[in-house]
Amino acid sequence: MDPQIEQWQQAFKANTPKVDTEALIQRTRRARQKMKWKAFADVAGAVTVTLFVLYTLIFDVQSTGQFILIACLLPVPLAFTVWSFRLRHKQWTMQTADVNSMLNFEKNALHKQVHYWKVSFIACAVMWLGLLLLAIINITLYATWTLWLTQLLANAVVVLGAGWRYRYLKKALPDKLKRIDEVS
């Protein structure tokens, strides 16, 4: 055999990291299972939020403007849930027959996670802005300060948490992708 080819092969083997395929398979299985649980938790959360919005729409509405505003907010959690479930379903049904497809699965999962939290932050912000508008209407017309300020504050924590999570994941994404690329 040509000594140049042997030297290249040795250099390639020396620079190619060993991949623990069993650990990679287990990580992929756990990630799929986690995605399924998260998808069903998203559905449960959305059903809860939707029921709360419907309850508010039926029992707590004091004017036509409030009714219209709450009715406009009702599709937000439903649409987000459908989108989120479909996104996770595509991920957990992705075929991973070899090491490269499993590594691509991990890369794809990281990208989808960042995208999920971006959309989640936007959806939470839209809901919070609708709640703010509703609070302004109720505070000015009915002087119900305590209830609406408490709701705004509690939901602001959710919006800030979703925004923080999105920024954190977006910042950490390049390092995580680099680690996956180093394995392949």
Cα 43 to Cα 64, 86, 150, distances in angstroms: 30, 11, 26
173 found inside a domain: yes
Q: Kindly provide the residue ranges of all beta strands, DSSP E only, lying in 64-104, ordered along the sequence.
A: none
pLDDT by residue (tens digit) across 133-168? 888 988 888 777 887 888 899 999 999 999 999 999
47 found inside a domain: yes
Q: What are phi and psi of 61, to 5 degrees?
A: -75, 130
Strand (E) or helix (H) holding 14: helix 3-15
CA dist., res. 76 & res. 37, Å (int)? 22
9 found inside a domain: no
Give the N- to C-terminal CA distance of the chain in Å, as an integer.
27
> What's the confidence (pLDDT) of residue 73?
82
> What's the confidence (pLDDT) of residue 184?
62
13-27, 65-79, 130-144, 146-160: least confident range: 13-27
95 against 159, higher pLDDT: 159
> What's the confidence (pLDDT) of residue 159?
95
15 found inside a domain: no
146 found inside a domain: yes
> What's the confidence (pLDDT) of residue 124?
92
pLDDT by residue (tens digit) across 29-39? 888 888 889 88
13 found inside a domain: no
11 found inside a domain: no
Confirm if 69 and 133 have CB atoms less than 8 A apart: yes
- Domains in the chain: how many in total? 1
Residue 104 belongs to domain spanning: 21-183
pLDDT over 70 at 54, yes or no: yes
Burial degree of 4 (CB within 10 A; 0-12, 13-18, 19+): exposed
> What's the confidence (pLDDT) of residue 162?
95
> What's the confidence (pLDDT) of residue 51?
87
2 found inside a domain: no
pLDDT over 70 at 128, yes or no: yes
> What's the confidence (pLDDT) of residue 52?
83
